[in-house]
Structure 1
Amino acid sequence: MIIGIGSDLCNIERIQASLDRFGARFENRVFTPLEQAKAARRPFTKAGTLAKRFAAKEAFSKAVGTGFKAGVFMRDIGVVNAPSGAPTLALTGGAKARLDAITPDGHVAMLHLTMTDDHPWAQAFVIIEAVMKDSV
């Protein structure tokens, strides 16, 4: 069963402006070290890479129904790649606690993430699915 859906549209130029104005302070406040390293390997598309991840964080916060309140912080939500290469989310702190709180007993949460960008826009969708523990 689906227990949460979230989407976000992010302006890549807005992310570039934040990088230009605040630099590492902005990156360290919003993105995990893994996300920062991935973006650093893409100097010509760094802002787009980060904008997709920013959108994914926003989409997740909407899917769990809190936004960035109730202990859910941007750095608690990290975009990583599954062994298949597909993007997914790694959660810590308040983001993980909120996901655990909305997952029904006897179920595990499966996160589905898709991201795309076409300058000047980056977009992400998150679907949270609760699956019976027996069927995982």
Structure 2
Amino acid sequence: MIIGLGSDLTNMDRIANSLERWGEKFEARCFTDVERAKAARRPYTRVGTFAKRWAAKEAFAKAVGTGFRRGVFHKDIGVVNAPSGAPTLALTGGAALRLAEMIPPGHEPRIHLTLTDDNPWAQAFIVIEALPL
């Protein structure tokens, strides 16, 4: 069953401005080490890489119904790749706890994530399922 749905559209210029203004401080506060390493390997698409991940974090916060409250922080939501290469999320801290609160007994969560960008926009959609064990 679907228990959460979220989407976000992020302007890349806004992310570029934050990176320029706050630099390392912004990166360290909002992105995981894995996300930062991926962006560093993509110098020509660095801003787009961060913008898509920002959109995914925003979409997740909407899908779990809290926004960035109740202990859910940007850095607790990390975009990673499944073995197939498809994007998904690795959750820690308050983000993981909030997802666990949503899952009915006898079920496990599955997060579906899609990312896209077309300058100046980055977009993410998230569907959270609860699957029977």
Give the TM-score normalised by structure 1.
Answer: 0.97
Shift of 1:62: 0.3
In the TM superposition, 1:85-104 aligns within 5 A as: 85-104=85-104
| Number of the residue aligned with 1:28 | 28
The residue type equivalent to 1:127 in the other structure is: V
| Number of the residue aligned with 1:42 | 42
CA distance in 2, matches of 1:65, 1:18: 25
Q: What is the aligned-residue RMSD (CA, Å)?
A: 0.4
Unaligned runs of 5+ in 1: none
Deviation digits for residues 13-66 of structure 1 (CA, Å, limit 9, x no counterpart):
110011111100000000000000000011111000000000000000000000
SS across alignment from 1:43: coil
Runs of 4+ in 1 over 3 A off after TM superposition: none
- The answer to whether the aligner puts 1:113 opposite 2:113 as a matched pair is yes
The alignment covers a number of residue pairs equal to: 133
| Number of the residue aligned with 1:69 | 69
Unaligned runs of 5+ in 2: none
- The answer to whether the aligner puts 1:128 opposite 2:131 as a matched pair is no
| Number of the residue aligned with 1:81 | 81
Give the TM-score normalised by structure 2.
Answer: 0.99
Shift of 1:104: 0.6
- Percent identity over the alignment is 68
The residue type equivalent to 2:57 in the other structure is: K
